[in-house]
């Protein structure tokens, strides 16, 4: 008598899961392992090579509803809520970024006009700027201190070696800005957006005077303490001040990843201010995150995950848009370098540190949703730099 081999039937997908699977089958590059809560699995392979990722969908109906309502913002919010998970968040977001054209636009959804309106309501007026900056930077120095390196640098490092750590790479970044200025000991530098005092300390150690301004009381408090402890308060003055309220002139200007918080309606005011406070013959060195010109037109008329949940009022320029605004203020712009790969590496290290300090972050009182938001934010940016959608440049400006 022949023995029959019984095979366990493959679980059928419920309607919402089937709709999600159908959309994901549009994948063109890379591969995706799709897993559902009922045990069903599907392996999707694109026609072209690319990264591999997995996606575990725990609540398909909730995920589908969020996607329909808010598209990419909804996908992020579904992750915060636990509707889906993955073993490698960066790999998944990189895969989706590479397949954006196959899946459809990254912005949209039924609530897209509302999201855009909410973004526009967070305009960077003097009062709005302070509120927007505090929403990100004043969430707790103890939190940032757990995963930033000892220089307290919250911007892209500049790596020279494959196994180089963050501290020497961050200090190299500051030295490259000083070199671009051709700054000499005794000269006075204005830093617009001084953070926790990292650049100011590096510059003062080279004999330069620095005035740094910020809109974050938390950054000002910690930065001032670091300056005092370093014994450099005779060379460094940090202030709580809006860039539009600056007076006087300076030998040079530095601004490291602050321009992204200015907002497009205020780019003209920003460059007019730089032109006004920069002495004739002086230089400004800016580090700016840019978005590829291919995406800029659509990006500037919508709201994305970063603007909604991380940097209210923020806006990335394209290099062309940046140059146009600077030129209108009478400033000549030179871009000596772009180093998106360095930012991808910096973000990978930050992500590793946030995950490493998961328990310590929770012990400070931050909840699971907050932690998942930050994990998503860092991986989202990492994927943007890794795929070339966004880049980071050093821009040197002089009076034309």
List active site positions: 381
Q: Are 70 and 49 in contact (CB under 8 A)?
A: no
Torsion of CA 157, 273, 309, 153, to 10 degrees: 20
Question: Angle, to 10 degrees, between the axis of helix 340-356 and the axis of helix 166-181?
Answer: 140
Structure tokens, 25: 């089958």
C-alpha span between 189 and 244 (Å, rounded): 17
- Dihedral sign (CA 221, 223, 227, 230): positive
Six-digit token string for 303: 């709201």
Q: Which residue in 134, 109, 73 sits closest to 312, CA to CA?
A: 134
Q: Helices (DSSP H) in the chain: which residue ranges?
A: 15-24, 60-81, 89-98, 100-103, 112-120, 126-137, 141-147, 166-181, 198-204, 217-229, 267-277, 293-299, 305-309, 319-328, 340-356, 358-363, 368-387
CA–CA gap between residue 351 and residue 107 (Å, rounded): 25
Q: Can you give the length of the chain in residues?
A: 400
DSSP, collapsed to helix, strand or coil, labels residue 215 as: coil
**Backbone torsion region of residue 200, taken as left when φ is above 0, otherwise alpha when ψ lies between -120 and 50, otherwise beta:** alpha
Ramachandran category for residue 232: left, alpha or beta (phi over 0 → left; psi -120 to 50 → alpha): alpha
CA angle 304, 336, 387 (to 5 degrees): 35
In the beta sheet, which residues pair with residue 29? Answer: 48
């Amino acid at each position: 008598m022949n023995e029959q081999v019984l095979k366990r039937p493959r679980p059928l997908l419920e309607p919402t899961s089937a709709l999600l699977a159908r959309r994901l089958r549009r994948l063109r590059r890379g591969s995706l392992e799709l897993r559902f809560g009922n045990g069903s699995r599907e392996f999707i392979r694109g026609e072209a090579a690319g990264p591999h990722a997995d996606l575990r969908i725990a609540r398909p109906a909730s995920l589908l509803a969020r996607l329909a309502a808010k598209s990419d913002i909804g996908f992020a919010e579904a992750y915060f809520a636990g509707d889906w998970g993955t073993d490698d968040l960066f790999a998944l977001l990189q895969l989706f970024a590479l397949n954006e054209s196959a899946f459809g636009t990254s912005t949209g959804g039924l609530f897209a006009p509302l999201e855009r309106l909410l973004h526009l309501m967070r305009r960077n007026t003097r009062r709005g700027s302070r509120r927007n900056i505090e929403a990100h930077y004043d969430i707790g120095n103890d939190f940032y201190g757990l995963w930033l390196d000892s220089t307290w640098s919250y911007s892209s490092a500049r790596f020279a070696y494959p196994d180089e750590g963050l501290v020497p790479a961050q200090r190299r970044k500051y030295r490259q800005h000083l070199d671009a200025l051709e700054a000499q000991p005794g000269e006075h530098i204005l830093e617009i957006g001084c953070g926790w005092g990292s650049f100011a300390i590096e510059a003062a150690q080279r004999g330069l005077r620095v005035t740094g301004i910020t809109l974050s009381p938390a950054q000002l408090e910690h930065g001032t303490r670091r300056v005092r402890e370093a014994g450099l308060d005779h060379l460094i003055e940090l202030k709580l001040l809006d860039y539009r309220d600056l007076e006087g002139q300076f030998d040079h200007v530095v601004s490291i990843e602050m321009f992204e918080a200015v907002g497009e309606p205020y780019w003209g005011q920003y460059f007019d201010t730089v032109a006004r406070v920069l002495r004739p013959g002086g230089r400004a060195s800016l580090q700016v995150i840019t978005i590829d010109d291919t995406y800029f037109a659509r990006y500037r008329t919508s709201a994305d995950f970063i603007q909604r949940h991380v940097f209210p009022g923020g806006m990335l320029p394209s290099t062309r848009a940046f140059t146009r605004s600077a030129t209108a203020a009478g400033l000549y712009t030179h871009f000596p370098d772009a180093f998106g790969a360095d930012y991808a590496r910096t973000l990978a290290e930050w992500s590793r540190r946030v995950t490493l300090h998961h328990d310590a972050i929770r012990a400070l009182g931050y909840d699971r949703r907050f932690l998942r938001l930050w994990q998503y934010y860092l991986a989202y940016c990492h994927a943007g730099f890794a795929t070339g959608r966004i880049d980071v440049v050093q821009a040197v400006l002089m009076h034309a």
